[in-house]
Chain A
Amino acid sequence: MTEILRISVPMTFWLAAFSAVYGLQGFICSRHWFEAEVEGLTVARMALVGAWLLVIAVQVAMLAMLRAERWASPEPTMRFVSVTLAVVALVAAVWSLVPVATTSICY
């Protein structure tokens, strides 16, 4: 099962994080709790961008772990697959959540 976890966790984390950030955006828009501004940025924007950066940081950490001898798969093909999927998850985290910094939040 360890091998299955190595290949499934990074992408699964991306999916969970992607859904969570979408949920956070929905929550923000439904309650209008985050409209206050600090230094010209709304708290809503800061929360969303903060969540995005956190997701990227976790994906980077997982990629580093899967490349480290201690955590990497001993089997070369499984190691290749797990690291490739961690890279895909990182790229997906960066790309699919770009809108938190570039589009309007609730309109």
Chain B
Amino acid sequence: MNALRRHRALSRIWASDPGFRGWFTTVNHNDVGRMFIVTSVFFFLVGGILAMLIRAQLATPRSAFVGPEIYNQIFTMHGTIMMFLFAIPLIEGVAIYLLPKLLGTRDLAYPRLTAFGYWCYVFGGSMLLFSLLVGIAPDSGWFLYPPLSSTLGQPGINSDFWLLGITFVEISAIAAAVEITVTVLRYRAPGMSLTRMPVLAWYLLVTVVMILTGFPPLILGSILLELERAFGMPFFQVEHGGDSLLWQHLFWLFGHPEVYIIFLPAAGVISTILPVMARTTLLGYGWVVAAAIALGVLSFGLWVHHMYVTGIPHMGVAFFSAASTLVAVPTAVQVFAWIGTLWKGQPQLRLPMLWILGFFVTFVIGGLTGVMVAIVPFDAQVHDTYFIVAHLHYVLVGGFVFPMMAALYYWLPHVTGRKRFFKLGEAAFWLIFLGFHVTFLALHWVGLLGMRRRIYTFDSGQGWELVNLISSIGGFVATIGFGLVLVDIIVNAVVATRGVRNPWGAGTLEWAMPTPPPAYTFASLPSVSERDPLLKEPRLGVGLAKGEGFLGDPSRGRRETLCVETASGRPAYLVTFPDNSALPFALSAVTGGIFLGMLLKAYWLIPLSILGIVALGVRWVWTTGADRDRGPMDVGRGVSLIPAEEAEDPPGWWGSVFLLLADATLFGSLLFGYAFLWTVAPNWPPPSYLAPDPVAAVLAAVGGLVAVAAFRLAARALEQGGSAIGWLILAALGAGAVGAAAISVMVARPDFTAHAYDATLWVIAGYVLLHAALAVLMALFLAARGWLGFLGPRRRGPVRVGQIWADYLLVVAAIGLGAAWLPGAFA
């Protein structure tokens, strides 16, 4: 088969549906990645317009441009959109688009999950956009502190839009994080060991693990605050045993890592582009990888540095001040590695490099003011002033937007297949760079002069007038620059001439394909023996197009790729991806019913939506697997591999492991909240404790153990050629018993509005009940699959997936129900 025939055959297999329908049914990472990027840029424009409204209002004292009610919505939505609807989704979009190409594989681990995440993002973002358009947007600041955001401070629907919309969007982030984690660990080109991975893959791996462990505390906080607003569960109301500081802890457990979740991918982009611009390789690969990991973990030990002025004892703030100063070290290691790379190479001042230099200047200033505000006495002086606003913009714009502009111009030839002809980008850079620094250097100054953040106006005579006017002028100059970038991109994407395949002479695999990339990405998968394969073999892409790599024969007519062993990169098994499907769109729309039901207080919609989710979820997994053993199959280059459904650790098992990591973090955050209220909230202990229920305790213990054992016995029965159906039904009964024990806790304390203790018991019991229901569903689903012949001696993987969920149920039931009953036993 020649290259053209291979291209046509693979295009038929991998192509999205034609026309408008294709938008809703595509699961291809090329499409969904581009859709993520375009949508996030749209939200960036909305957030940018809001920023201009802020600067218009503050340009002069006693401005009559907008009143306080509208101004509160504008600054809240500016921060919310930029953090949740622009930065994180843009990272996801870039990762979704680039990662399979960098890793030498054909798609992400779970293509339908990619599309599901995108639609959750669109629906959640649309909710927030709608609230803005009709003037009922959230107005309590982007971190939504109660009691300002609770029914005490905001009885309207405004805060509900934030809590529900953002939680919906966070489903998208968790979905993307799970699949990117599994993709980096298992879906790489054969031979690509961990140490041969492109450095951006390391950065993205660290970032998504941070999303899996950083987002759940905010998801939990949002659930708790929404439960308080909707049903009166008093988690944050002091007179009923709650504490508004709990929200601050949960928010910043997410919020501080969030800064690094945004910065690290940008640093990965710098580490990828800068060596190419310097015509060399990255200096200190091992140091940079270690610095990225260290930065990621250290960032979780800083959350209280946003709470220095909340009255926490000296020792507490000193812990976090010390940890905050530490993060400067791995950050500096990366900066020195980049400077060393420039030093050893021959840098060219092309447009991506210009943005990188802008990043250096801006981010280093932001980093240094970050060290300043890590020091408690200084922070106490500038807390809630414009100094903080200036600092965070230096970090986020300098540390994220500027590198993303470098990425935009670096990978634009890849996305469009065209060579940049019109040179508006350079002028745009200078407008943005100078406009930005005029705006935010001035805001440092006005902050030190004492101007508080979030004030909708100010009186003249305080020395703030000129500085604010200069800042506003700078803001508008930068905005003109961003407008120019937009014009530059559109013009070059539409009318510029065709470009060459690897215009920068880069060494990474995304350039070993035609541009724009075909739907199948690689005609055949490369075998990798270098960190920068194209530097050693510049014509690698031609060989792959000729089918010289793995899976070069499309005759099976399926969307195929390979899974490799995590560390070594040796080929492990063959994966067949699903075809185009409207299921992700439908599932996200039905999931939206839960959020819409909560928002409109149409609670009847919630059980209907749950039923819909279960039905569509069953349909989703029903289409996977095989009803017979297929055995090893030829994957090219003389290698035969088993299909994924016959592996001990199929993709679903890996996805479950990392989803459970996020799940366990949420549960840990819940237990932290329980312990926090217990030790810190003023109105504790509660009037009475839940009395232990020996019958329910035995039910939970026996049920959990039975479920765990039955899944294992089901796997063993399959291995020995027997039937697993009986064991799986027994597992469902065991999990059901755990659920019954959880319900008994709720029944024993029916009034969840009486005290935060009762409300917490309900949430813990609800959490256990949810996982019991999941285990029951999985066991019954697997029993049905077994009955229809989809399980067998080789095809035991799905049972192992159910097994880890049953194991997790046992753990959370023991801890959760134990935490509910033990205080009463000792009281």
A residues at B contact (CB < 8 Å): 1-4, 7-8, 11-12, 14-15, 18-19, 21-23, 25-27, 29-31, 48, 75, 77-78, 80-81, 84-85, 88, 91-92, 95-100, 102-107
Contact = CB atoms under 8 A, between A and B. Distances in A.
A25 B289 CA distance: 33
A106 B680 CA distance: 12
Nearest to A100: B315
B290 interface: yes
Contacts of B679: 26-27, 30-31
Contacts of A92: 298, 301, 323, 326
B193 interface: yes
Contacts of B300: 15
A107 B297 contact: no
A103 B195 contact: no
The list of the 4 closest CB pairs from A to B, nearest first, reads A99-B318, A11-B297, A30-B679, A77-B195
A77 B318 contact: no
B315 A85 contact: no
A18 B301 contact: yes
Contacts of B323: 18, 92, 95-96
A76 to B, nearest CB: 8
Contacts, number: 105
A31 B286 CA distance: 46
13 contacts: A1-B566, A23-B675, A25-B313, A26-B316, A78-B567, A81-B293, A92-B326, A97-B319, A98-B322, A103-B315, A104-B315, A107-B313, A107-B314
Given A88-B294, A95-B322, A96-B323, A75 B301 contact: no
A16 to B, nearest CB: 10
A11 B330 CA distance: 13
A25 B567 CA distance: 40
Interface residues of B, number: 33
Interface string B654-686: 000000000000000000000110011000000
Given A21-B319, A23-B675, A85-B290, A4 B297 contact: no
A92 B289 CA distance: 18
Contacts of A99: 314-315, 318-319, 322
Interface SS majority for chain B: helix
Contacts of A21: 319
B287 interface: yes
A85 B318 contact: no
Contacts of B676: 26
Nearest to B318: A99
Contacts of A88: 290, 294, 329-330
Given A12-B297, A26-B676, 5 more contacts: A4-B567, A15-B300, A81-B289, A92-B326, A96-B323
A16 B566 CA distance: 26
Contacts of B322: 95-99
B285 interface: yes
A15 B319 contact: no
B563 to A, nearest CB: 14
Nearest to B195: A77
Contacts of A27: 679
Contacts of A25: 313, 315-316, 319
Contacts of B297: 11-12, 14-15
B329 to A, nearest CB: 8
Contacts of B185: 4
B330 A78 contact: no
A95 B289 CA distance: 22
A20 to B, nearest CB: 11
B194 interface: yes
Contacts of A12: 297
Contacts of A85: 290, 293-294
Nearest to B321: A99
A42 B195 CA distance: 49
B719 to A, nearest CB: 22
A106 B290 contact: no
A84 B567 CA distance: 18
B318 A84 contact: no
A104 B314 contact: yes
Contacts of A19: 301
Contacts of A26: 316, 676, 679-680
Contact of A75 (B193, B316, B318, B326): B193
A80 B293 CA distance: 13
Contacts of B330: 88
Contact of B316 (A7, A22, A31): A22
B195 A11 contact: no
Contacts of B287: 84
Given A75-B195, A77-B195, A84-B286, A22 B567 contact: no
Interface string B298-317: 10110010000000011110
